Amino acid sequence: MKLTPNETKFIKTWLGNLENGARTPEELLSDNYSYLCLETMNNLFKHELGLSTKQIAGYLASLQEKGVLVLEERDGPYISENTSLQKRISFEPDLYFIDEDYIQSLPKEMKFY
């Protein structure tokens, strides 16, 4: 899969800002916690790359089409109970993952930061 320079920068920014502490493809593959929800992505890419919401959506669509990203659509709403036993309805956000095959294709010596 051939990525544009801007798509590569987008993915490197994503990988460099994961909360699991993985800094190499091997570390990430041992615990594929490469997902981000749309709200987190909007904040990250607006701050780090100065992208608009529409630009972020364009990258997501292109990278999904190329097989780099996978969307896990969550069903909702979820009903949970809080400590006061009142039911609360919330919606779980859809998650975007970087495809494991793409991660395996990255150079082993690559650093995400």
Percent of the chain with pLDDT over 70: 83
In a domain, 38, yes or no: yes
In a domain, 25, yes or no: yes
Cα first-last separation, the chain: 22
Closest Cα to residue 113, out of 24, 31, 33? Answer: 24
The residue type at 29 = L
Other Cβ atoms less than 10 A from the Cβ of 53: the count is 12
Residue 65 is part of a domain; what is its CATH number? 1.10.10.10
Other Cβ atoms less than 10 A from the Cβ of 52: the count is 11
In a domain, 113, yes or no: no
Count of structural domains within the chain: 1
Phi, psi of 95 (to 5 degrees): -120, 140
In a domain, 89, yes or no: yes
In a domain, 110, yes or no: no
In a domain, 97, yes or no: yes
Pick 79 or 92 by higher pLDDT. Answer: 92
Closest Cα to residue 99, out of 51, 55, 63? Answer: 63
Q: Retrieve residue 58's tokens.
A: 């364009």
**Domain span including residue 26:** 5-105
Helices (H) and strands (E) in the chain, counts: 5, 5
pLDDT confidence tier of residue 33, bands split at 50, 70 and 90: confident
In a domain, 91, yes or no: yes
In a domain, 112, yes or no: no
User: pTM of the entire structure?
Assistant: 0.80
Position 85 scores a pLDDT of: 46
